[in-house]
Structure 1
């Protein structure tokens, strides 16, 4: 089973706030389990693993997919951590979420998989599709699709649309005008630790 389908609040209690995974916030500020309140000092490896898990659960990718993204980021010139975040941010399911068309990334993935989303006028049902500059992301011209997205746009998961996306709420479509900048990444993460975690594995 590649994708996590268990209780989401358990993950947010362990890893902290993950805006892409759930809108709810945990009532208890300490991790779940018998020793949640009196955990011993964590090792460097545990800290790196936690940062990697944050990335995995927030964007809803499997371990294999994340390794593939790390390898791809390494091949591109520049900061591997920054490029890794850009690759994850430019996924279609995340783009739909950041536009406010879905309350969470899992909900956005479902919208994409069920064929409600168009890219450049064509139905794209692959959540991992990588959006590029110049792409137009819209909603399928069906009553069910438009009603669902219209309702979600009233209560978006995140308040602000990132600078690389230009949203037209009336038409329910958006233009991708570039790559996502680091300051627009919603999750609080140290991407360098993720790169360090994979340095010995990849």
Structure 2
């Protein structure tokens, strides 16, 4: 497996790369003062990607395909990235895509992220993933999903309702829904982890939400 180490400076592009069996070790993206002059990763496809001590937060990813990704505890969090036609598939382990970072250093990227969401044909295609995916703050209606194990929940359908009783206790899904309502996101993606023993439990939660009419569309 090839190992790469690089720092991506403001406005720097990584383009037209198609490779397999790559490890990104100690790779970092530079934080920029505005949300528009940001590092660009474009027209890249990777099969079997390992992320180790890598921080790609704040990058713009456009027409990127990644099949099979393994990330350590540092690298699995991607904050404030903008996605335009990005396809994730295969085994992903655990990934968290958050529209901002916990300290708010990247909050000024939000207008650029929303502009990317509005202008792209779609933001993320996650319909063929296997693993645990949490997407926080992004517009889930702009994503391509597989309704057999994924669903979009809208905040306006849950307010003043007994959705907590339907879920029957704390879960990864209830945490995401609570965060959506607290942060005033319009919606959130719920993606069952069908690669582990969680499969049956996650699918049952989605079924319960559907039967209680808290999901606008869900097909089995």
TM-score, scaled relative to structure 2: 0.26
Q: Which has the higher contact order (CA 8 A, sep 6+)?
A: 1
Instruction: Name the one with the larger helix percent.
Output: 1
Instruction: Name the one with the larger strand percent.
Output: 2
TM-score, scaled relative to structure 1: 0.27
